[in-house]
Structure 1
Amino acid sequence: MVYITEELVRRRAEHNECEIFSLEEVSLHQQDIEKIEHIDRWCRDLRILYLQNNLIPRIENLGRLKKLEYLNLALNNIEVIENLEGCESLQKLDLTVNFVGCLSSVESLQHNIHLRELFLVGNPCTEFEGYREYVVTSLPHLKCLDGTEITRSERIRAFQGLVEVKRRVWEQEKEYLRRRAKEKEEAHRKTTGEQERKGSKPGFDGRWYTDINNTVYVQCPGLEENKENQEAAENTKLKMTVPDLEEEQRREEEFWHTPCPFTPESRLEAHRHLEEKRKAKEKEEMKPKTPRTLITAEGRVMNVNEPKLEFSLTEDEENNAIVLDLAVYRHLDTSLIDVDVQPTYVRVQIKGKIFQIVLPAEVQPDSSSAQRSQTTGHLVLTMPRVEGEIKVTKGASRPARVCETGRSSSSEGQNRKGHVPERLEVDPSLHTAPDYANIVPRQRAKEGPLERARTPPAASSSSLSDGFEDDLDVPPLI
């Protein structure tokens, strides 16, 4: 059961800076409210009140709203129009699709002299013969009924047959109330039988509560007879859950396919049924789920795609990098994405859901980058490979080496079986210590570049001009 609380009203008063004492309009629709309360004390200046699509059975606690002009109570469980005499400024009342069967209760609106519009579409009273004439004559200040304007000629004709109209309406109303009493009795009997079948019992407030959450414990009789094994008997109880899954499914189908009258009780029963299903689903979702294995005990990294996103993993040979393109939701805020790049795998957390993939090669996490597309929303991770990684490439074929025996090494390799690796043969007699003094070989017959730089070539007398002096400290011109 949902109550009207101060917190609920303040949440609905955001347009008024959450102040409720000066509130002039408040919407409390679709809140499963079952009772009107506190509104007339907290919001004295209220002019518009929306309470449609709730479970309100009575109109009450609204008499202090002197400034109230529009009251919407459509889609509720109201059966009688009452307790609106204090709403002096009421101009429009909407009671569409309720259960108003006591048409004579309309006369309680005679004190609301400013009432101009009234909606009773979808109520049982609208099926009465003479319904419109009765309302028109009972509320002479009304201008519009069920969205149709009341003309002067219609009002005159209604007053001419007033006595006959009232008599017919009262007879139909008595018949309806008699039928309604039977429906209430049948609904009460059905509710009592249902609660007894479920093994429930009434509490101090008259409501029914289920024993031990529909759980039955069965003991082993042999252990109970032995006094020494009483404790063992307690530990050997068999826990059984009722009803079974198939039985529950059968009852669910029976509940929705069994015809029932359209009454406040049936509407309330359907709401209770949906509420129980919702709570059971929430309870099931609140159970701790088994954590998904991301890395096994042996250290093996698993591929996981909990958000079920499309992705592509490619290799950029030109930049020696691995590129991961993850199709993240376009309108997802980037703050809800967490990226963790490891040398051998990548883990992306999207709104608490894990995406993890093993990389085909080792990468550099520190040099990796993450970018988000502004048009598609995709997440692109660029991860450079680790430097020094050996990659198998197809090189040019080298000529076969010739050994001292004169046979080709390639021909020997072809004759060998099992692909035994070839050993390098070295002559021990040719092994000498390296000569560090002659690292750069120089040919004495022909001068090397260092010698040429240090000793310039002798110039011929014919090519030198008169007065030329050769300076050895100046390097030669090339």
Structure 2
Amino acid sequence: MACLNADLIAKSVNRLRKKRGLSYAEFLRTLTHLHFSNKNIEDIGDISMCRNLTVLYLYDNHITQICNLGFASNLTHLYMQNNNITRVENLSNLQMLSKLYLGGNRITVVEGLEQLSELQELHLENQRLAPGETLLFDPRTLLSLAELEGVFGLWPQLLHMDLRGNPACKTPKYRDRLITACKSLEVLDGREINELTRQFLINWKASKEAKMKRNNTGALIPYPLTNDLNRVQGLTSTAVQRRKKPQPSFHTDLG
């Protein structure tokens, strides 16, 4: 097993450093990308000399803890999927982080991301959990999917989220709730979110909540699942005919 530190980095880039005629310290300060995937790395040591680091590849290793990255204020991409990480921690200083890959680890609680206002992609698919364990969003503030609005409010730039292979995906109306809770989300679990479907769900939910309030019954009236696309499209078409007004078309092009 190896430890990611300044010495290991220096050895890996020695030839390029000599070509540029720089000292180790000078060269490490110029690095913006570090590629150390599948290198049998178990720990992250002191790599603070790489002060201009923006992209760090550490996937397919044996890392158990996210640590010693507090210096990396310019880091935008962190790839740590397929390790042995059990906690999401020590990321609060990464103010520029936009893409975080933590799939294939052993994480049970999603926490410690409150300061990441620039986060656009969060990947947590296929956590390798013990029987009976489930993936939760910070239980101190989040008790169920019905309260996800508060969590998504912390990540206004979030465009992609992947939770495939986790027990949360089996929660009734899981996809519907996430689509209506996060207005900026464009791709959920590898599937694009159709804006017409999103608007229909938002309107349906608002209509039912208003009706419930008027009737003061307190009964919750469910809204349809987005995986039943034919039903959603049929209801939308019927609503259009009743109003006799043309509806705006939506085009999603994620490139």
- TM-score (normalised: structure 1): 0.31
**What are the Cα deviations for residues 17-42 of structure 1, in whole angstroms up to 9, with x where unaligned?**
43410011111112211111111x22
Distance between the aligned counterparts of 1:112 and 1:101, measured in 2?
17
What displacement does 1:6 show?
3.2
Change (3 A) 1:148 1:32: same
Question: What is aligned with 2:181?
Answer: 138
Change (3 A) 1:90 1:101: closer
Question: What is aligned with 2:166?
Answer: 123
Letter in 1 for 2:123: D
Distance between the aligned counterparts of 2:12 and 2:221, measured in 1?
46
Residue 18, structure 1, aligned to residue 17, structure 2: no
Paired residue for 1:29, among 34, 50, 59?
Answer: 59
Question: What is aligned with 1:215?
Answer: none
Letter in 2 for 1:18: L
**4+ aligned runs moved over 3 Å, structure 1:** 2-19, 101-107, 161-166
**What are the Cα deviations for residues 44-91 of structure 1, in whole angstroms up to 9, with x where unaligned?**
111111100011112111111111111110101112222212112111
Residue 100, structure 1, aligned to residue 142, structure 2: no
Matched residue count:
165
Question: What is aligned with 1:76?
Answer: 105
CA contact (8 A) 2:114 2:154 kept: yes
Letter in 2 for 1:150: I
Paired residue for 2:94, among 34, 49, 65?
Answer: 65
Q: How does 1:288-327 map to 2 (within 5 A)?
A: none
Letter in 1 for 2:28: C
Distance between the aligned counterparts of 1:109 and 1:70, measured in 2?
15
What displacement does 1:156 show?
2.8
**What are the Cα deviations for residues 347-386 of structure 1, in whole angstroms up to 9, with x where unaligned?**
xxxxxxxxxxxxxxxxxxxxxxxxxxxxxxxxxxxxxxxx
SS across alignment from 1:63: coil
Distance between the aligned counterparts of 2:57 and 2:7, measured in 1?
10
Distance between the aligned counterparts of 1:165 and 1:3, measured in 2?
55
What displacement does 1:96 show?
1.1
SS across alignment from 1:62: coil
Change (3 A) 1:44 1:161: same
Distance between the aligned counterparts of 2:77 and 2:11, measured in 1?
13
Instruction: Please give the root-mean-square deviation of Cα atoms over the aligned residues, in Å.
Output: 3.2
Paired residue for 2:192, among 140, 145, 149?
Answer: 149
SS across alignment from 2:109: coil
Change (3 A) 1:85 1:55: same
What displacement does 1:139 show?
1.3
What displacement does 1:115 show?
0.9
Letter in 2 for 1:79: T
SS across alignment from 1:49: strand
Distance between the aligned counterparts of 1:30 and 1:156, measured in 2?
39
Q: How does 1:384-395 map to 2 (within 5 A)?
A: none
Question: What is aligned with 1:38?
Answer: 68
Sequence identity, in percent?
27
Distance between the aligned counterparts of 1:156 and 1:54, measured in 2?
38
Larger-Rg structure: 1
Letter in 2 for 1:110: G
Gaps of 5+ in 2: 18-26, 30-49, 128-133, 138-143, 210-219, 223-255
Change (3 A) 1:138 1:82: farther
Letter in 1 for 2:99: Y
CA contact (8 A) 1:24 1:46 kept: yes
Change (3 A) 1:49 1:77: same
More contact order relative to length (CA 8 Å, sep ≥ 6)? 2
Q: How does 1:144-293 map to 2 (within 5 A)?
A: 144-159=187-202, 160-161=204-205, 164=220
- TM-score (normalised: structure 2): 0.56
